[in-house]
Structures are given as structure tokens and as C-alpha cells.
Amino acid sequence: MRRRAATWVHGPAAALACWGLGHTLWQGVTAPRTALAFGALIAAGEAVRRAPARPGLREGAPLGAAGALGYALLGDADGWPAGHGVAQTLAVVVAAGLVGLVPYLARGGGPVLDPLARRVLSVGFAATCCQPLHAAGTLPAWAAVGPVRPLFLAVLLALTALCDAVLAAALARARTGWPYGPLLRDALRALPGIGTAICATGVVIALAVAVAGLWALPVFCLPLLLTQLAFRRYAAVRATYRQTIASLARATEIAGCTPPGHARRVAGLSRAVGRELGLGGPDLDVLEHAALMHDIGQLSLVDPVPDGATAPLPPAEQRRIALLGGAVARQTGAPPAVAVIVERQADPYREQPVTARIVRTVNAYDDLVAGATGPAGRLRALERLRLATARDHEPGVVEALARVLARGGRAG
């Protein structure tokens, strides 16, 4: 089913790409100088594409996306009709994208079929809505009589961005098996940020090239290039922060308070359960960081807990360790949301946020399966969690954990 879902996106994209390339080769290139300039811009944007750390929905090559969108919206170049049409738009986007992806792949970049299919379909949609109107002279006539063209472009950009978000969520669902709703929400949340910058840059370069010529391309693309570099720096800072959290989590293992790999297992399984329950990207990041630090309070204990297993302890002792963990998390500079999850994981689940319920249940499961071998041990641990749903564990979280475990620990 997942492979079929990806085929429903890759198939139309491949058909459009072949049609655009074949039609352009047969009819010849219109305004080759303009096509070459936009092709170089798209190729350069793809060459500096950012590889995501995990399957993501954000645009990895905003400069290439803006160049492709600008070429789809272009009606005039230096005062003359561009006249390239939908087929040539697709041909330039595909050819330049393939050329630009060569250095990206040479650096060890990730899969490229999904972003290329998204680019072809979204740009094809924009070009189909815009280029026939330019060819017929309808859009210039509207622009001459009133503010119809800006309104038309705004609506077209909104629909194009929505189309790209739907495609991104569908492809992420096909590749990861994660629930579609949260994936679509994550894609839509990304639109007001980098998505708005891409759309604005695409419109600006299309309008600027119509008036000032091709020299407008480097001038109006420079701000987006600087934005891309800033996003890359921000991603590096976030990666460093995550490594710091992971190092702090290992402190309990080095001190002998918890078994090796316990925090990492709880964090990975908590993120999968959060996906199963429909949490979005920001909530999942907070959940993962809190799961990594959920045992950090044991560093404050004089007498370590045997094997680091807090699930068998009395509720009052669990609560004391959780409060110590929250205090330590705040002292390390962790976000307040992370500290709240750490210190509330021992509360009755009806008083907890859903993220704390997930950490509590997954932590208890990992403690219960410690030393168990085979499926029987995992089934006994799940059965004990189900029997404790009256006070300690939310039934919905336990069942979500069971579904994730049935798929081998992956969200689906």
C-alpha cells in the first residue's frame, strides 16, 4: 500500500517530465537565453540542497524551488513575451534539477525522487494555471485594468503551496508509514516560514525579469540564499543541542544508574508512539528530549535504584525522583516543556499531558522487558501495562505502544 501511494505521485510526475522533455526537444527551445538563466538558477539551488537528518517535510532547496516557480509564472522577459509554455517549463525544471542533483548526490545526499516529483507536479500545476493565460494575452489584460493580477497570483501561490504540502505529506506517509494527518499539519505549519519566502521570491523574480531583464535573477535571489544559509546554521545548532541532550542522558548510564541504551530506547519508542497518537513535529522533538532525560533525577540519589527500574517503586518515591529530574533538567538549560514532562511522569495519568503519559508508559515497558527474551516477555509486559490502566497508564497510550511494537517498533 505504501509503495502504491508513492507510485501515485511518481507516476504522474514521470509522465509530465517525459512529456515536457519530449515536446521541447521536438519543438525546440523558446527564448533559450532565458531558459538557460533560469535553468542555471534551479541547478544551483539543487546543488546546495540540504539533506534532512530524518524524513522531513520542509523544502530542502528553497532557491531551486523559487527559481522553478518564477519560471512557471514568467510572462515577459525584458519587455518581450517569454512564450515558453507549460512543456518547456517542465523540461527546464527537470533538466536543471537533474543536473543540480549530481553534486548533491556526490556529497552523499539522501533520496531525490520524492523532492523531484514534488517539484515537477507543483510547478506543473502553477505553469498550467498561468502560462496559457499569458499566451492568450488574458493575464496582461487583467493587469492593465485593475488589481486582478496580484490577486490571481496570490490565489495561485496559495493553491500551489497547498498542492506541495499535500504531496509532501503523502510521500512521507508512503515512506515512513506515519499517520497522514499530523504529517499534513507539519507540512502546512512550514508554509508561513520558508514557504512564504519561496513564493514571494518566485513572484518577485518573475515580475523583475519582465521589467529589468535577467540581471534581476541574482539580485532578487540573494536574500533567499542568505535565508537558506541561516536555516542551515539553525539546523546545525539544533543538531548540536540534540547531541548535548543525548550526552546528558548517557550520564545516568555512565554512573551505573540505568542499563546501557535505556534512555535511547525509551526516546525512540516514545517518538514512535507519539507519531502513532498523531503528535506533530515540535511536540515530537520535546517528547524525544524529555524521554532522553527522564531518568536524569537518579543522579541526585544517594542510593541508586536497582537496575535503574523506577516502575516497581512506590508512587511517592517515583514522584520524588521525577521532581529531582525536573530540577536537573531546568539547571541544564532544557526548555521548560521538557522539564515539565520529566517532573510529571510520575503523576496519575489523568493529570498528565499526553507527552508525559507516553514517557511514563514506554519507560515502564522498557523496565518490564529488561532481561526478557522472545515475544513472550514482551507480551507479559504489555499485559501488565494493560492491567495498570486504572491509575498508572492511559489505555490509549498502551494500545498505541502495542501497535508500534507489532510493527517492530516503527510508527505507522
Residue 411 pLDDT class (50, 70, 90 cuts): very low
Cell of 60: 530542502
- The predicted pLDDT at position 53 comes to 45
Examine the pLDDT at 145 and tell me if it is beyond 60.
Answer: no
Res 394: pLDDT: 87
Amino acid 121: pLDDT: 93
Task: Give the pLDDT band of residue 327 (cuts 50, 70, 90).
Answer: confident
CA nearest to 96, candidates 48, 41, 18: 41
Mean pLDDT of the chain: 81
Distance CA 59, CA 194 (A): 8
Q: Give dist(CA 324, CA 318) in Å, integer.
A: 10
pLDDT level of residue 31 (50, 70, 90 thresholds) = confident
Cβ within 8 Å of residue 246, ≥6 positions away: 264, 292
User: Which pLDDT value is given to residue 140?
Assistant: 64
Does pLDDT of 257 surpass 80? Answer: no
pLDDT band at 412 (very low <50, low <70, confident <90, very high): very low
Predicted pLDDT of residue 373: 61
pLDDT tens per residue, range 223-232 = 888 877 777 7
Q: Output the pTM of the full model.
A: 0.75
Task: Work out the average pLDDT over 370-377.
Answer: 70
Determine the average pLDDT of the residues in 90-97.
93
- Measured between alpha carbons, how far is 81 from 148 in angstroms, rounded to an integer? 19
pLDDT exceeds cutoff 80 at 248: no
85-112 average pLDDT score: 86
CATH number of 255-406: 1.10.3210.10
Question: Residues 90-106: what's their mean pLDDT?
Answer: 89
DSSP letter for each residue of 340-351: HHHHHTTS-GGG
Higher-pLDDT residue of 64 and 312 is: 64
Beta strands in 23-95 (DSSP E): 76-77, 80-81
The answer to whether the CB of 86 falls within 8 A of the CB of 124 is yes
- Which of 359, 346, 354, 344 lies closest to 318, judged by CA? 346
What count of other Cβ atoms lies within 10 Å of the Cβ of residue 335?
15
Using pLDDT thresholds of 50, 70 and 90, give the confidence band for residue 306. Answer: low
Average pLDDT of 119-133? 90
Mean pLDDT within 3-19: 82
Can you give the length of the chain in residues?
412
CA neighbor of 298 nearest in space, from 361, 335, 254: 254
Q: Alpha-carbon dihedral of residues 226, 230, 232, 237, nearest 10 degrees? A: 160
Phi, psi of 80 (to 5 degrees): -115, 145
pLDDT confidence of 91, banded at 50, 70, 90? very high
Identify the pLDDT of residue 141. 63
Per-residue pLDDT averaged across 63-86, rounded?
A: 85
How much is the average pLDDT of 51-77? 76
**So where are the chain's domains?**
2-236, 255-406
Percent residues over pLDDT 90 in the chain = 14
Confidence (pLDDT) at 409:
58
